[in-house]
Amino acid sequence: MKRVAAFSLALALMGLAAPLASADSAGRHPGALLIYTIFDSARGAGTIISVTNVSQDTSVDAHFIYIDADDNWREFNRFEPLTPRDEFTIRASTHVAGAKRGFLYVIAEDLDLDKRDPNALNYLIGDEIVVDSRGNFLYALDAIPFCAKAPFNGNEDEYLDFNDEEFFKVSDKMYVSSFLGQTTHGGTVNLTTTLIFVAMVGSSDFETRLDLLPYNNAEAESSAPWAFRCWDAVRLLEIDGYFHDNFLRTTFNWDDRNTGIPWTSGWIEIDGDEAVDVIGNEPKIEDPPFVGAMVQALGSYATGHLLHESAADNVTNGRLEF
């Protein structure tokens, strides 16, 4: 009975998950680039990656670029051909052997070009499923699509630029539509929320600094800074004790209307403050763009969704290494 009750609560959590965010102001649609905010092939975990070519008449070469956060941002490249209307699904550990964790992006490239130079092949959609060591599904996330403007990477540099010339711009402000008060009671089922961030500043040498502005359900505002390099998956309570359920109940005014759930709630505005080159070779980037996702877990059950972006805060200095 306890497991049935926990599963019912997990289903309730899934119902609270926000709609998926768009990749640009035009809405979510096939793109020439897909960003998968997490892959995990460490012991006890796994990620199933899917990508689909929706074109009726154009073949593409799907260029998989895995960035391993646990090995000094080491890059692993794989290529998979996709004929028209083709779909490809693979476990990340099959592409990248060993315990790896980080993020992934897939670029549509032209099969007929000898150097595999990218063109604006806006035909890709995709998603991922994170599983445990026994193959049980934990949660799923859509890939974030970005449309290219033909042809992209025209300057043939080492970056994909999100500047409205190669790709649409990226926002430097994201939103968590809702979070639940975190619980850490010993011996009981705990509720934990993890935020996943991917920096769009062009190099793992940069430390991206974010300002988090959380609000509880009575509009009481707080603040919490967070900094990361390239990619991060961090629990809310690692960022600040503000997110603990007991703290929210006792420290701020809390709207205690009967909601039918046993947790407090709130939402978060996340703003890119600055990105600083920790090596010291590049100038500081103001308002650094980023993308992200959120995973909520109740015991062994979890659900995930992308963060929402602010269409009014798109900037022009977004880039990825290529």
The answer to whether residues 120 and 113 touch, using CB atoms and an 8 Å cutoff, is no
Q: Nearest to residue 61, comparing CAs of 38, 39, 30, 88?
A: 88
Three-state DSSP string of the chain? CHHHHHHHHHHHHHHHCCCCCCCCCCCCCCECEEEEEEEECCCCEEEEEEEEECCCCCCEEEEEEEEECCCCCEEEEEEEEECCCCEEEEEHHHHCCCCCEEEEEEEEECCCCCCCCECCCCCEEEEEEEEECCCCEEEEEECEEECECCCCCCCCCCEEEECCCCECCEECEEEEEEEECECCCCCCCCEEEEEEEEECECCCCEEEEEEEEEEECCCCECCEEEEEECEEEEEHHHHCHHHEHHHHHHHCCCCCCCCCCCCCEEEEEEEEEEEEECCCCCCCEECCCEEEEEEEEECCEEEEEECEECHHHEECCEEEEC
Query: Other C-beta atoms within 10 Å of 27: how many?
Result: 8
- End-to-end alpha-carbon separation of the chain, Å? 51
User: Above 60 in pLDDT, residue 26?
Assistant: no
How far apart are alpha carbons 13 and 139 in whole angstroms?
12
Is the distance from CB of 309 to CB of 174 less than 8 angstroms? yes
pLDDT at 188: 61
Whether 30-146 and 171-321 share one fold: the answer is: yes
Share of the chain above pLDDT 70, in %: 86
pLDDT of residue 322: 78
What is the domain partition of the chain in residue ranges? Answer: 30-146, 171-321
- The mean predicted confidence, pLDDT, of the chain is 83
Tokens 């150097």 -> residue: 115
The pLDDT-based confidence of 315 (bands split at 50, 70, 90) is: confident
Q: Select, from the ranges 13-17, 174-178, 309-313, the one with the highest average predicted confidence (pLDDT).
A: 174-178
Span 135-169, pLDDT tens digits: 778 899 999 999 988 677 666 778 888 888 888 88
Query: pLDDT tens-digit profile of 58-113?
Result: 999 999 999 998 777 888 999 999 999 999 999 998 998 777 899 999 999 886 76
Q: Measuring CA to CA, how many Å separate 134 from each of 57, 65, 130, 267, 296?
A: 39, 26, 11, 34, 20
The CATH number of 30-146 is which of 2.60.290.11, 1.10.10.10, 3.30.420.40, 2.60.40.10?
2.60.290.11
- 10 Å Cβ neighbour count for 204? 19
Average pLDDT in the 298-313 region?
Answer: 86
What's 171-321's CATH class?
Answer: mainly beta
Please give the average per-residue pLDDT across 233-243, as a whole number.
94
pLDDT score at 223: 93
CA distance 55 to 237: 44
**Quick check: 279 and 205 in contact, CB under 8 A?**
yes
Cα–Cα distance measured from residue 128 to residue 50, given in angstroms and rounded to the nearest whole number: 6
